[in-house]
Structure 1
Amino acid sequence: MDRPRTSTYLREFRWYRRSRLWVVPSAGAGAALALAAATLSVDHFLITGPAPFPIFGGEPETARTMLSLIATAVATLTALILTIVAVIIQLATQALSPRAVRTFLQDAHSHLTIGTFVGTFTFALVVLQQFSLTYDAEADTLTSLSVTVAFVLAVVSLGMFISYVDHIVHQARVTSIIDRIGNETRYAIRQEYPTEDERPRHVTGTIPEHEPSHTITSVNNGVILEIDVSRLMKAIARCNVTIVMVPAVGDFIPTGARLLEVYGDADIDLKALMKTVDIDAERSIMQDVPFGFRLLIDIAERSLSTGINDPTTAVQVVDQLHDLLRQLGTRPFPSGWYADDEGAPRLYVPQPTWDLYVALAFEEIRHHGASSLQVVRRIRSAVLDLLENLPEERHPALHRQIRLLDETAEWAFRSEAEREAATHADAQGIGSGGGFGPIVGEDDTASGVTQTEG
């Protein structure tokens, strides 16, 4: 198997493991079964000899009681942890965004904690059920490594529970959620937009103007989650064809809609091509960098709604979007064309543009936060910083945002003083920028001091 395909499978497995809550607990149960088999085998071997320290050597009834208590306590802690996760998911859905739930389902600490609890519970049950392997009824003696290991696992589970409570209290904060989404999006940017030194050879191509030889339609509906480029290129190797993907990654495709267009008369396996495109019910940041932006923007829009009215959260989102755009703006954007071993363009996948990212990052937040000085000033600060630090070819989309901010200030604020304040950049929204000087007139009512000319 070639390295790109192996890397793709590993990335798919990591994403599946993070997005499914049962994977790590199932692995914990399997590990517990293996550990129980090993310790019980040792117990059976040592039952006729002296028990080396610190193997449990107490009364059989004490061991049975201990194992029963461990199983009961760990089952209770597991139920409590799942309840905490369910409550936090419900609160996050209401206060942030329904799509913010994904961050909790992908939390590695939650997976590890539940996996430890499930493993401890499974281990205690197996040892309790196979207790005869550790007990010599004729000599009325008990030599049990298994009971000692169960005790250690119980102490570890208790520590994991305390650690998890501390972890979830901090991770449930909106700042932590925003930061986690930002970090995931930054990782996706590094994967999908490599630097000049890291990226493969740049190729360009032209989509044929004539009708395709074959059209592959979708057999079900859903969102384009990802496309396995290396597998698809391998499927069309040594075939003089050009493949054009119609929807972009992240687009919804209905049943029967065009998925892939094949240009060329070579005999290829159309079903194999279809299997290279993964369709799911929900988008993922894995190959879909705009979805990371969307998650952040949803949180900002919810915070700017009338019922919540929390512009500071929106400013924190703009902080992340500002950094993401700085990361993107210094990287070359792929053309969407992939070449074969001879350098001929064979596959085209639609790609988001820089203009799209800028519009996605700012326009909705600016619209929903038009009347908030804090939001419009922070957006202006971000845009001006991007203009100062990004290459000139990135500037047109940013200049458009400045014009839109100026227009927003004209219609969103009634007084001239507020409009003046709204046109000042401020890295904190309100806190580090200008535009809030005292109003000087014949009678300064704010200070109670009468000012005169001269």
Structure 2
Amino acid sequence: MRDEAVTEGSSWGRRPRVSSPLREHLRDSFWFAPVAAMAAVFVVWAVAQECDALIVEALQEDGAYEELEDLARFADDAKSVVGAVSSAMMTFIGVVFSISLVAVQMASGQFTPRVVRLFVRSRITKATFAVFLATFVLTLLVLTSYDSTPDPAALVSVPLVQSVLTLVMVALSLLLFVLYVNTTLRLMRISHVIARIAAESLRAAAWVPGPHSGAAPCDLGPVTARLLHEGRAGVLRDVHVARLVRVARRHGVVLRLIPRVGDFVVPGTPVLAVHGGPPPPRAALRRTLSVGVERTYHQDLGFGLRQLSDIALRALSQAINDPTTAVQALDRIVQLLAALSRRPLDAALHLDRAKTVRLVQPVPSWTALVDLGFAEVRGCAARTPQVTRRMLAGLDDLLLLVPPDRRSPLLRHRELLRQSITRQTANPADRGFALRPDRQGIG
């Protein structure tokens, strides 16, 4: 049986699946869906063309020349429609592309450049481009299938099925265009952008060890080797957990990832520590670490908090001055921290089928996550009572949820916020107003 990785523990009573990063990489790319759709349309067109040829052949064998003439007249009428559709598709593609560029430019300028990834990962946007391009390619192929022979007995194929298929694709394109416009308008609204970031972050946190795993502390033993990064410099996007677990089991060692996902690595720096034996050969570890130019949600526990913090900081800047948006970002920051408030952090243990630890992957600590969510926003919020009141309410809520050993960073941020408000607000009445917790900021 092929060995697979199992992440230790789960708060829902089942082991979360640790999958290959390939699916996430395809979601982060924009080329795959359109290219796959255009390749698939060639196959569909070939099948439809064969069906049309079989229909003509069957009618010719039966001597149904009147029906063939009717089909030929239908094909002549449909040819003009297909030609018009072919011209209109390029216009539609240009409109969709223009809308996407404007939406991305507005979102990156108003919110943060890192939200561009949400537009790239949008399934509706990819599906719209894919279907539009596939429809355009299909119309070109169908136009080559029309037979100009006037004699019904000499006809080879009448594109009946192909014409109907083209009309179906046009109807699907129009439907997707409406859905695309609706989705794009939603993504230009900050509340939906923040909600999408939170949803992606919660999905990324699903593999973090659960609170009732029952796993004993793991003694890795001394480090027997360190493997250096030999690829290009960049951000560690994710690791192929299942492959690393298989390699570690096959060679009887434990691998420990040294940088966290999201760290910037350069060639020559250590990335893997080997415990319990000689290091596996380099060929076995090839393509187990993915390095790119920017962070992704996959396996990166802090990326969502980073984006939410950036949105809040941009909203609190003097150029934008939108404290309500900062409050909305704080709502989701509190939500993410609450979801992780009782889950073990610092390291994720990945086991093989024999329940032996084979890979140790570092994750941010609770203190690091709290600092990421609150430190920078707190520094800019002292003169904005709407934000200070919401932050105090969020800290109070988290203090009720976390275990006693995790209260310290929350209390520290609460006290630092109180000191900052006291220092920058001279009027006692204004100071008391800013120090009053309120989940709506100023509700």
TM range (shorter): 0.7 to 0.9
Name the counterpart of 1:169: 185
Name the counterpart of 1:435: none
Q: Contact 2:75 / 2:159 at 8 angstroms: preserved in 1? A: no
Amino acid aligned to 2:243: R
Name the counterpart of 2:9: none
Following superposition, the deviation at residue 280 of structure 1 comes to 1.3
Q: Contact 2:208 / 2:343 at 8 angstroms: preserved in 1? A: no
Amino acid aligned to 2:437: A
Name the counterpart of 1:114: 129
Name the counterpart of 1:138: 151
Partners of 1:298 and 1:267 in 2: how far apart?
40
Structure 2 residue matching 1:359: 3-state secondary structure = helix
Q: Which moved more, 1:273-282 or 1:87-96?
A: 273-282
Q: Contact 1:204 / 1:345 at 8 angstroms: preserved in 2? A: no
Gaps of 5+ in 1: 432-454
Name the counterpart of 2:77: 62
Distance 1:270 1:368, change over 3 A: same
Partners of 1:147 and 1:391 in 2: how far apart?
65
Name the counterpart of 1:184: 200
Name the counterpart of 1:204: 217
The answer as to 2:374 corresponding to 1:374 is no
Give the superposed CA RMSD.
2.6
Q: Which moved more, 1:346-355 or 1:16-25?
A: 346-355
Name the counterpart of 1:47: 56
Query: 1:240-251 maps to which residues of 2 (within 5 A)?
Result: 240-251=252-263
Amino acid aligned to 1:382: G
Amino acid aligned to 2:389: R
Following superposition, the deviation at residue 123 of structure 1 comes to 1.0
The answer as to 2:235 corresponding to 1:226 is no
Distance 1:191 1:260, change over 3 A: closer
Q: Which moved more, 1:264-273 or 1:422-431?
A: 264-273
Structure 2 residue matching 1:367: 3-state secondary structure = helix
Q: Contact 2:348 / 2:363 at 8 angstroms: preserved in 1? A: yes
Following superposition, the deviation at residue 212 of structure 1 comes to 4.3
Question: What is the TM-score of this pair, normalised by structure 2?
Answer: 0.88
Partners of 2:326 and 2:202 in 1: how far apart?
19
The answer as to 2:408 corresponding to 1:408 is no
The answer as to 2:104 corresponding to 1:89 is yes
The number of residues matched between the two structures is: 422
Partners of 1:57 and 1:3 in 2: how far apart?
58
Question: What is the TM-score of this pair, normalised by structure 1?
Answer: 0.86
Partners of 1:111 and 1:56 in 2: how far apart?
36
The answer as to 2:23 corresponding to 1:14 is yes
**Which of residues 156, 162, 171 is equivalent to 2:172?**
156
Following superposition, the deviation at residue 114 of structure 1 comes to 1.0
Name the counterpart of 1:279: 291
Name the counterpart of 2:88: 73
Name the counterpart of 2:11: none
The answer as to 2:275 corresponding to 1:259 is no
Partners of 1:384 and 1:243 in 2: how far apart?
39
Name the counterpart of 2:228: 216
Amino acid aligned to 1:176: H
Q: Contact 2:395 / 2:410 at 8 angstroms: preserved in 1? A: yes
Partners of 2:159 and 2:231 in 1: how far apart?
61
Amino acid aligned to 1:383: L
Q: Which moved more, 1:363-372 or 1:334-343?
A: 334-343
Distance 1:242 1:169, change over 3 A: closer
Amino acid aligned to 1:91: M
